[in-house]
Amino acid sequence: MDSAELVRVNRALMALSAGNRTLLRAGGEQELLEEMCRAVVEVAGYRMAWVGYAQHDAEKTIRPMAYAGFESGFLQRPGATWDESTERGRGASGNAIRTGKPFIVRDVQTDPYFAPWREAATKRGYASVLGLPLRIDGEVGGALVIYAQEPDAFDQAELELLSEMADDLAYGISALRTRIRQREAEEKIRRMAFYNPLTGLPNRLMLRQRLEQAIADAKRNNRSFPLLVLDLDRFREINEALGYVQADKLLQEIGPRLAKALAEQEFLAYIGEDAFAVLLPGGDAEHGADAARRILKALDQPFEAAGLLIDVRASIGIALFPGHGADPDSLILRADAAMYQAKHSSSGYAVHPGGKSREHARRLALVGELHRAIQDNELLLYCQPKAHIRTGTLCGAEALVRWRHPRHGMMALTEVIQIAEQTGLIRPLTYWVIGSALRQCHAWCEAGCEIPLAVNVSARNLREPLFVDRVKGLLSTWGTDPGLLQIEVTESALMEDPAGALETLTRLHAMGIEIGIDDFGTGYSSLSYLKRLPVDTLKVDQSFVRDIAVDANSATIVQSTIDLAHDLSLKVVGEGVENREIWDRLAALGCDMAQGHYLTEPLPAEEFTEWQRRSPWRLGRYETGSSGRASG
């Protein structure tokens, strides 16, 4: 190696190591390209260097991305391409890109292919050129072009070092792009976890995070803030009238309309089905009410969907930190509860009335624990039999849920169910009960005891779009005859949303499931309405039954209920039958069935057959397909 060669190898080596440092430091792709070019020129002493990316346009342009050194407008002239068929496609960059191999122009003055650039290059003191391909993610995406001021530069040793540098550069570009893709993927996953894809709005999870943050801030500064929960009224009906596709579109329009009614710092989230939430940055009940009025006003204008003008109404519940709760869950629960009150108010919104009473706090805590209890299978299925009064044979049982609470012991859920109904929790609870009931039915059938089991279902369940499908799914999971499943809905639940309930009950009834109205006499259902409902039985509330032996009034109510039911071809169950006397009275009034402590208190479902064997009560015959009507 002569000394000139040594000098050249040395400068290539310097370029390579400067390039390595650049690679480690560069924060972005553009910076990397610029730093590499600068290393080639400033550290290694070449006259000019640039990086071009191959474009996939019709002209196969090579777009200069970065350069360093004495350029003086060289790259702004009609540029190179990697299209072989044109003259300008045969330079160093074009060749390197096309062939994927280094391309050397030994002498700018004599190389015939360099003609298009000769004059401009000579003027700038470029004597020889090296084009190095940049292989990015498996394909040649561009070239690094280096100009030396002496002809015949770039011998083998130098070429190898510079090629290595170009490979490093290409690797760096790939790595940076991968990093960006990863970041994008992470961002997308983050979005998916925290945003609802349909509306593009933050979801419940994100709302909870924001609430946690807001609570921490408010505690630090001793401030209050309102949380609003908004539920669209009768969205189910809209859903059914328009079909899901159009209803989804409608939901997509409602979001922006709400957002427009809100200020920038007011945080809007979509928390499921037909519910939104708004977190205000600060303020009291009046600020909450003001936001509610703005929102309701924004919904005044009808929406256009499927060529129709649709009126969308909403009910808004408001809860305040710290007055109504000091953690995200209790605030959401209370705003949700207030929203249910708002459904019955003319203004369309309601502020939660209660303070943080100890009783309420206790119940809220129970609801929180119930959630876990459902998951941890702490619930137990109890059941209580019903008997035909005329024949004295067993004709069914009612599933009643019990909770073996780790601290409070065995408990009924009456008070918790009320709150569970105001929150979404009633859904998993009901599915747990139906699933367990069908499992129990299956076990009984295996043991040769076919007896229908009734489950209690809430109004909120009947409003779920997928309720019927899930019941169907559970029935087919256990292969149970639908006639063995009965559904009880309380009269008051029915009257909460009669139209919605009618639809769901009709579908369940059409599947062969018997429907009963529970606690009859405590709600205010109209006769005309009863006639339209697909109902098979009325269960007279125990408050009337209990007293028929002693109170003439109660006896009259029960008597007229029975007559009314029979006129409508409904069967009547008396519940709360505690003794022989009540049983006999009911028999005299023509009541069809009885349930109560006179037969037995509710007992663990798996002990039912054993109890029956030891009891004087005989099983009635269940006829498949007879919709569960046992005959004596």
Footprint on this chain of ligand C2E (rule: CB under 6 A): 384, 400-401, 412-414, 417, 433, 456, 458, 488, 518-519, 542, 575-578, 596-597, 602
- CB of residue 398 to Mg ion, shortest distance in Å: 5
- Pick from ligand C2E, Mg ion, none: which does 433 bind, CB < 5 to 8 A by kind? ligand C2E
- CB of residue 618 to ligand C2E, shortest distance in Å: 20
Whole-angstrom Cα distance, residue 554 to residue 552? 5
- Pick from Mg ion, ligand C2E, none: which does 602 bind, CB < 5 to 8 A by kind? ligand C2E
For β-strands 593-595 and 139-148, DSSP reports them as unpaired
Q: Mark 44-63 with x for binding to Mg ion (rule: CB under 5 A) and - for no binding.
A: --------------------
Measured CA to CA in angstroms, residue 415 lies from 337, 342, 366, 411, 418 at distances of 15, 22, 9, 10, 5
Whole-angstrom Cα distance, residue 128 to residue 115? 13
Candidate residues 519, 544, 573, 629; the one interacting with Mg ion per rule CB under 5 A: 519
Instruction: Select 369 or 519, whichever has its Cβ closest to Mg ion.
Output: 519
- DSSP for 535-587, written as a single string: --EEEE-HHHHTTTTT-HHHHHHHHHHHHHHHHTT-EEEEE---SHHHHHHHH
In a 13 Å sphere around the CA of 54, the CA atoms on its Cβ side amount to: 24
For Mg ion, which stretch binds (CB under 5 A), given 103-111, 296-304, 313-321, 518-526? 518-526
Considering only residues 476 to 515 of the shown chain, the ones binding Mg ion according to CB under 5 A are 488
Instruction: Select 450 or 488, whichever has its Cβ closest to ligand C2E.
Output: 488
Where residue 149 falls (left for φ over 0; alpha for ψ -120 to 50; beta otherwise) is: alpha
- CB of residue 455 to Mg ion, shortest distance in Å: 8
Where residue 541 falls (left for φ over 0; alpha for ψ -120 to 50; beta otherwise) is: beta
- CB of residue 382 to ligand C2E, shortest distance in Å: 7
The reply to whether 111 sits near Mg ion by the rule CB under 5 A is no
Candidate residues 330, 430, 456, 595; the one interacting with Mg ion per rule CB under 5 A: 456
Candidate residues 481, 514, 518, 592; the one interacting with Mg ion per rule CB under 5 A: 518
Three-class SS state of 417: helix
- CB of residue 573 to Mg ion, shortest distance in Å: 9
Size of the residue set binding Mg ion (CB under 5 A) = 4
- Pick from Mg ion, ligand C2E, none: which does 389 bind, CB < 5 to 8 A by kind? none
Instruction: Select 135 or 402, whichever has its Cβ closest to ligand C2E.
Output: 402
- Pick from Mg ion, ligand C2E, none: which does 172 bind, CB < 5 to 8 A by kind? none
- CB of residue 319 to ligand C2E, shortest distance in Å: 24
**Side chain identity, residue 501:** A
**Pair 570, 536: CB distance under 8 Å:** yes
- CB of residue 490 to ligand C2E, shortest distance in Å: 6
Whole-angstrom Cα distance, residue 52 to residue 33? 10
Whole-angstrom Cα distance, residue 524 to residue 526? 6
Pull the structure tokens for residue 632. Answer: 């004596």
- Pick from ligand C2E, Mg ion, none: which does 458 bind, CB < 5 to 8 A by kind? ligand C2E
Instruction: Select 2 or 601, whichever has its Cβ closest to Mg ion.
Output: 601
For Mg ion, which stretch binds (CB under 5 A), given 37-45, 275-283, 366-374, 448-456? 448-456
- CB of residue 457 to ligand C2E, shortest distance in Å: 6
- CB of residue 615 to Mg ion, shortest distance in Å: 21
Question: Which residues are CB-contacts of 583 (< 8 A; sequence separation ≥ 6)?
Answer: 389, 577, 594, 598
Pull the structure tokens for residue 556. Answer: 């009259």
- CB of residue 303 to ligand C2E, shortest distance in Å: 34
Whole-angstrom Cα distance, residue 541 to residue 522? 7
Whole-angstrom Cα distance, residue 224 to residue 401? 39
Instruction: Select 417 or 515, whichever has its Cβ closest to ligand C2E.
Output: 417
Beta bridge partners of 63: 53
First to last CA, the chain: 114
Spell out where 481-531 has E strands.
Answer: 485-490, 514-520
Three-class SS state of 514: strand
Instruction: Select 278 or 589, whichever has its Cβ closest to ligand C2E.
Output: 589
Pull the structure tokens for residue 356. Answer: 């943080």
- CB of residue 522 to Mg ion, shortest distance in Å: 9
Instruction: Select 90 or 386, whichever has its Cβ closest to ligand C2E.
Output: 386
Query: Angle at Cα 252 formed by Cα 250 and Cα 253, nearest 5°?
Result: 65
Instruction: Select 68 or 462, whichever has its Cβ closest to ligand C2E.
Output: 462
| CA of residue 422 relative to chain centroid, distance | 20
Three-class SS state of 432: helix
Instruction: Select 266 or 518, whichever has its Cβ closest to ligand C2E.
Output: 518
Residue 258: which of 309, 310, 296, 227 has the closest Cα?
Answer: 296
Instruction: Select 258 or 337, whichever has its Cβ closest to ligand C2E.
Output: 337
The reply to whether 34 sits near Mg ion by the rule CB under 5 A is no
Residue closest to ligand C2E (Cβ): 596
Instruction: Select 91 or 596, whichever has its Cβ closest to ligand C2E.
Output: 596
Question: What is the binding site for Mg ion (CB under 5 A)?
Answer: 456, 488, 518-519
